Amino acid sequence: MTRYAALLRGVNVGGRKVGMPELREVAEQLGYAEVSTYINSGNLLLSSGRSATTIRTELERALNGRFGYPARVIVRDHSQLRSVLTANPYPEGNPSQVTVAFLAAGPDPEVADRMAGLATADEQFTIADTEIYVDFAGGLGRSKLAERLQQVVGVDLTVRNVRTVGKLVDLLDR
């Protein structure tokens, strides 16, 4: 069986409440093993012999049925998540301000130009296949790029800071 991180988008913000015990219960009812969660923002860890695509489809369907809104889930296996962390182009940045946007599919070629149009001089970004790294050195709270990233990229995505990604890799190592 493969270890996976299923990353939910928009959990426990904007009135969309999903308790982590309920999230674990949904995953267990789907037959996943070694189910756990990390912090209250939709980080689900599990083991399965199913593909990442199947896991995403099953979780999205089950979560929509259980909570009544279209949940978006991005799934990466343990080795992919470790590679994402290792490839971080901003290792000297503040780990709470350096983020990874996990994309459901690769972005179109114009996304870099659109991002550059919103990024401040303090914000650096790197597009790497189905991840986008952003160093929000000037602060996430004031960033127009952070505020509009989903719209600019144009594909389903969810964002985690590198501190969280590192913790997920550590938890999957166990």
Q: What is the pLDDT of residues 128-139, one digit of tens each?
A: 999 999 999 988
Identity of the amino acid at 32: Y
pLDDT at 118: 94
Q: What is the DSSP letter of 138?
A: T
Identity of the amino acid at 96: S
Same fold, 2-78 and 81-173: yes
CATH class, 81-173 region? alpha beta
For 3-7, 19-23, 93-97, which range has the lowest pLDDT when averaged over its residues? Answer: 19-23
Buried b / exposed e along 147-170 (16+ C-beta atoms within 10 A)? eebbebbeebbbbbbbebbbebbe
Residues in Cβ contact with 86 at an 8 Å cutoff, skipping those fewer than 6 apart:
none
Q: What is the mean pLDDT of residues 57-79?
A: 92
Using CA atoms, how far residue 122 sits from 94, 100, 125, 128, 145, in Å, is 13, 17, 10, 20, 11
Q: What is the mean pLDDT of residues 44-67?
A: 95
Q: How confident is the model at residue 12 (pLDDT cuts 50, 70, 90)?
A: low
CB 14 within 8 A of CB 81: no
| pTM check: above 0.85 | yes
Identity of the amino acid at 20: M
Structural tokens at position 60: 């999205």
CB 9 within 8 A of CB 156: yes
Q: Is the pLDDT of residue 77 over 70?
A: yes
* Domain layout of the chain by residue ranges: 2-78, 81-173
Q: Is the pLDDT of residue 119 over 70?
A: yes
Q: 2-78 — its CATH code?
A: 3.30.70.1280
